[in-house]
Amino acid sequence: MKIFLTGGSGYIGRATITELVRQGHTVTALARSDSAEHAVATAGATPVRGGLTDLNVLNHAAARAEAVVHLAQAATGDQDLAAATAMQDGIGGGTYVHTGGSWVYGDTDGIADETAPWNPPDLVAWRKPVEDAVLARAAQGGRPVIIRPGLLYGGDNRLIDEFFIRPGRTSGAIAYIGTGANHWALVHVDDLARLYAAALAAKPGSIYLGVGDTHPTAEQVAQACAHAAGLDGKTLSITLDQARAQMGPIADAFALDQRFTPAKARTELGWTPAHADPLSVFAHA
């Protein structure tokens, strides 16, 4: 299948291109710079020069593909919707896979699935109108699919590394927010890449949570990261206000208590997360 992908030079994108190529697909990927072109080409895709605001580029690239996978993180909801609209117009009746996120559900109060009510922190509240518009295309002959990944790990860890591990090396202890008893819904980047590939065959209008079966607490993650960072397991509790001052609005997302089941993707797409021990990965990163 010919696939056009955005966000290909990023953390998720490189893994997804690699998986799609491994499965025999031909991938073109948006790239807004020379370094991005090099990254997507190294992963196995043909670069298409442009950015998320280049709507004609998005439309034409989608029109030449059989499916689109939109991974790039837009700066605003309006920008994301404009990009999604351009690509859905271009792909027509082909599959369009859109990226959301599990944080939109807020605290889950136990194990939840895709039908859980939304209660997003301000950071991701903009996703609702965008996803509604994306899914509305199913009634017009489109094939929209939405993936809502959990918090990623594996490889360079990205958010967790930026907001917890690197600051912890400086301070001498890895922080967690409050008691650290809140659970994180994690997914390994390689497992998520396989989910995006599997979603190409999903029914129009489908929504899937991209999460693993294991949900460690924030304190447990901090302890594992502290061992890997050579800090003798030293951790530090900080208040939510302190976290906001240090991290900005994303602190409210890290403080969420979330547990989900990947049962829907397992049943409908045959996707089973292969990485079942995130704490081991964190402890040896």
Per residue in 23-74, pLDDT (tens digit) is: 999 999 999 999 999 999 999 999 999 999 999 999 999 999 999 999 998 9
User: Can you give the pLDDT at residue 58?
Assistant: 98
pLDDT band per the 50, 70, 90 thresholds, residue 22: very high
CA distance 71 to 99: 6
User: Can you give the pLDDT at residue 156?
Assistant: 77
Using the 8-state DSSP alphabet, how is residue 122 labeled?
A: G
pLDDT tens-digit map of 152-164: 999 876 799 999 9
- pLDDT higher than 90, residue 127: yes
Higher pLDDT, 173 or 155: 173
User: Can you give the pLDDT at residue 2?
Assistant: 98
CA distance 130 to 24: 31
CA distance 95 to 177: 40
pLDDT band per the 50, 70, 90 thresholds, residue 82: very high
User: Can you give the pLDDT at residue 107?
Assistant: 98
Range 51-77 burial, b when 16+ CB lie within 10 A, else e: bbebbebbbbbbbebbbbbbbbebeeb
User: Can you give the pLDDT at residue 285?
Assistant: 78
- pLDDT higher than 90, residue 214: yes
Q: Which residue has the tokens 């043909």?
A: 46
Choose which CATH entry (1.10.630.10, 3.40.50.720, 3.20.20.10, 1.20.120.420) describes domain 2-151+186-210. Answer: 3.40.50.720
The helix or strand, by DSSP H or E, that contains position 207, with its residue range, turns out to be strand 206-210
For 201, phi then psi, to 5°, come to: -100, 10
The predicted model scores a pTM of 0.97
As a whole number, mean pLDDT of residues 3-28 equals: 97
- pLDDT, the chain, mean: 97
User: Can you give the pLDDT at residue 112?
Assistant: 98
As a whole number, mean pLDDT of residues 256-280 equals: 97
